[in-house]
Amino acid sequence: MDPVSLDPEIAVVLEQLNAHPLARFEGMTPQQARDLLAETFPPVFEPPVARVEDLQIVVADDPGGVIGARLYHPAPGETLPLVVFFHGGGWVWGTLDQSEGDCRLMAAVGNVAVLSVDYRLAPEHRFPAAADDAVAATRWALHHAAELGADPSRVGVAGDSAGGNLSAVATLALRGESAGTDPLKAQLLIYPAVDCDLDRPSMHTYGEGYLLERVHMDWFYDHYAPDRVGASDPRLTPLFAGSHAGLPPAVVLLAEVDVLRDEGEAYAAVLQEAGVPCDLIVAKGLIHGFIGFWPASVAAREAYEGGIRRFAALLAAEG
C-alpha cells in the first residue's frame, strides 16, 4: 500500500480503519458486522436541515409491503427537486441513521429534498429483494413527489456503492414507464457496484488495504446473491442490461483508489455509448466510502459536494 497516492486526511482515516476489527468483517456474521458498524459510526446530524421526517412507503402491488424512508427537506414551503437516495453497505448492512449525514449534506448543498430508502437487506432478504424495493420506492416517489413538497417533474435517484447499484437498477426498470408520472430526471451513481466480476484490474490493484477489499465484495455477493445467482440479470449487474439508451442523464462519481473503479468507469462508458449524457468524475486520492468521511477530509467533502452540485444542476435543467 502506497499512502503517498492518498489524500493525507484520508490516509489518516484509512490507517485508523485498517487497525479496527471491522476491517476484517469477512470473518463475521452479517449481524456481528452490523452491530460493530453501528457502534463505530454513530449518526452524523449535520448539517442542519429544516424538515426531517420518517415516512412509510406502501408498495402498491403488495398490500402488506411497507418500506421505511426518511425525508430531508431544506426549505419547507418551497417546491424543490426530489432525490430518492439508496445507502451503501453491500446490500447487507446500512441504515437510515448511518446515511444521515450524507443525506443532510446532499439536501443542504443541492437545495433538494432527499428521500432516503430503508430497503430490505440480505441475507434475510436475498436478491432481488433490495432491487425490488428500490424500484417500488422510486415509483412511489414519482407518484407522491408533490405530497413531499417536491416537483414531480424533477425526481432523480442517487446512491453509493450498493446504493449506486440500486439507483442504476431503478432507472433501468422505470425507463419509459409513464403511468401518469414524469420520467426520472437524473441519476447520481457514487462508486456503484454494477458488475460482479472480481477479476477486473482495479479489484487486484486496490484489492487489499484500501478499506473495501476484493474479499469483502465476495462476502457481500455471497450473502446477497449466493453463487452469483442473477449474474446476467440487470437487476444485479446493470452494466449488462440489453440497452442503456433512453436513461436519464448521469453523474458517475468514483474514487481513484477503489476496487469498484473499473466497473464504474465501464458503466459511464456504456451510458455514453448509448447516447446518455454522462459526467464521469474520478476523485483523486480518495477511497471507497469517501462520501461518509466528509467530516474528516476536506478533499472528500469537496468531491462529494462537487458531485451533488453537478447532479442538482441536471435536476434543475429545463426540458
Closest CA to 122 of 215, 199, 33, 197: 33
The ranges assigned to domains in the chain are 3-316
Q: Which of 133, 151, 288, 297 is catalytic?
A: 288
CA of 279: how far to CAs of 92, 99, 155, 268, 271, in Å? 29, 24, 18, 8, 10
Strand 80-86 with 250-257, pairing: unpaired
Going by C-alpha positions, the residue among 84, 82, 81 that lies closest to residue 99 is: 84
Predicted TM-score of the model (pTM) = 0.97
What are the C-alpha distances in Å from 306 to residues 53, 125, 229, 300? 26, 34, 36, 10
Residue 155 DSSP code: E
Q: Which of 258, 262, 279, 297 is catalytic?
A: 258
Per CATH, the homologous superfamily of domain 3-316 is Alpha/Beta hydrolase fold, catalytic domain (3.40.50.1820)
288: annotated active-site residue:
yes
Query: Would you call 258 a catalytic residue per the annotation?
Result: yes
List per-residue pLDDT tens for the chain, 319 residues long: 444 489 999 999 999 999 999 999 999 999 999 999 999 999 999 999 999 999 999 987 765 689 999 999 999 999 999 999 999 999 999 999 999 999 999 999 999 999 999 999 999 999 999 999 999 999 999 999 999 999 999 999 999 999 999 999 999 999 977 666 789 999 999 999 999 999 999 999 999 999 999 999 999 999 999 988 778 899 999 999 999 999 999 999 999 999 999 999 999 999 999 999 999 999 999 999 999 999 999 999 999 999 999 999 999 998 7
